[in-house]
């Protein structure tokens, strides 16, 4: 199928099992890790393990973006500025988007969230809050000023990620209510109608 669907009633396999499992695993791992940072114990062991899980999921998704099936590959959905602008211009229309897989604006979000997640994990790995307990495992391998910069970056990145999650949820609601497109069911079943 082409990236632009000619008929929105077309049905078929949209998301492969790897994309779906990684998506939902990321939802759980991020929620757990964020919750442990905000409300968990002062000793951040559980937060660290959640961060390792998030990092592993991000690495796997990036690899899958190069070797997975067509709808998982970055090359199939990452487009240039003209395609993004064209899609964004039509976004307010009530008609369905007619894209198979990620649309050009959604692609920007996917790349953005993967980049911010990677920065978040990396900043956690090299952070040193100087409490002798919650030191990132790679902090000893980088200069002191890098550990402190990472520490200063880690908290704001978590806020940015939370905002991104809320924007993602808002987009799902927008597509459901305004464009009459269900984005959740295909991420559960893999199939889109």
Q: Is 117 exposed, middle or buried (0-12, 13-18, 19+ CB in 10 A)?
A: buried
pLDDT at residue 154 is higher than 70 = yes
Residues of the chain with pLDDT > 90, as a percent, come to 81
In this structure, which CATH number among 3.40.50.720, 3.30.450.40, 3.30.300.180, 1.20.950.20 belongs to the domain 12-192? 1.20.950.20
The pTM of the whole model exceeds 0.75: yes
Position with higher pLDDT, 5 vs 166: 166
- Partner residues linked to 191 by β-bridges: 13
Does residue 3 surpass a pLDDT of 60? no
In this predicted structure, the answer to whether residue 7 has a pLDDT above a threshold of 80 is no
Q: What gap in Å lies between CA 182 and CA 173, rounded to an integer?
A: 9
Domain boundaries, the chain: 12-192
Q: How far is CA 193 from the centre of its chain?
A: 24
Secondary element (H or E) of residue 103? none
Q: Identify which has the larger pLDDT, 3 or 170.
A: 170
pLDDT tens digits for 21-78? 999 999 999 999 999 999 988 889 999 999 999 999 999 999 999 999 999 999 999 9
- Percent of the chain scored above 70 by pLDDT? 94
In DSSP notation, 4-33 reads B-S-TT--EE-S-HHHHHHHHHHHHHHHHH
Report the Cα–Cα distance between both ends of the chain, in Å, rounded: 13
List the one residue out of 115, 14, 103 whose CA is nearest residue 62: 115
The 10s digit of each residue's pLDDT in 95-152 is 888 788 899 999 999 999 999 999 999 999 999 988 888 999 999 999 999 999 999 9
Calculate mean pLDDT across residues 6-35.
85
- Whole-Å CA distances, 123 to 22, 72, 116, 151, 153: 22, 27, 10, 7, 7
């Amino acid at each position: 199928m082409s990236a632009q669907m000619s008929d929105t009633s077309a049905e078929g396999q949209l998301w492969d099992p790897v994309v779906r499992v990684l998506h939902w695993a990321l939802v759980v791992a991020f929620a757990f890790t964020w919750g442990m940072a905000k409300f968990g114990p002062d000793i951040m062991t559980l937060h660290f393990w959640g961060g390792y899980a998030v990092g592993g999921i991000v690495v796997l998704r990036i690899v899958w973006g190069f070797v997975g099936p067509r709808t998982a590959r970055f090359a199939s959905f990452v487009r240039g500025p003209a395609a993004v602008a064209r899609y964004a211009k039509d976004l307010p229309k009530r008609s369905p988007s007619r894209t198979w897989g990620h649309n050009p604006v959604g692609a920007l979000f996917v790349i953005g969230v993967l980049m911010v997640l990677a920065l978040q994990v990396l900043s956690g790995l090299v952070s040193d809050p100087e409490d002798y307990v919650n030191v990132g495992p790679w902090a000893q391998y980088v200069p002191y000023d890098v550990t402190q910069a990472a520490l200063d970056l880690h908290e704001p990145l978590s806020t940015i990620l939370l905002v991104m999650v809320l924007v993602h949820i808002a987009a799902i609601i927008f597509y459901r209510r305004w464009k009459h497109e269900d984005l959740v069911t295909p991420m559960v079943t893999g199939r889109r109608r």
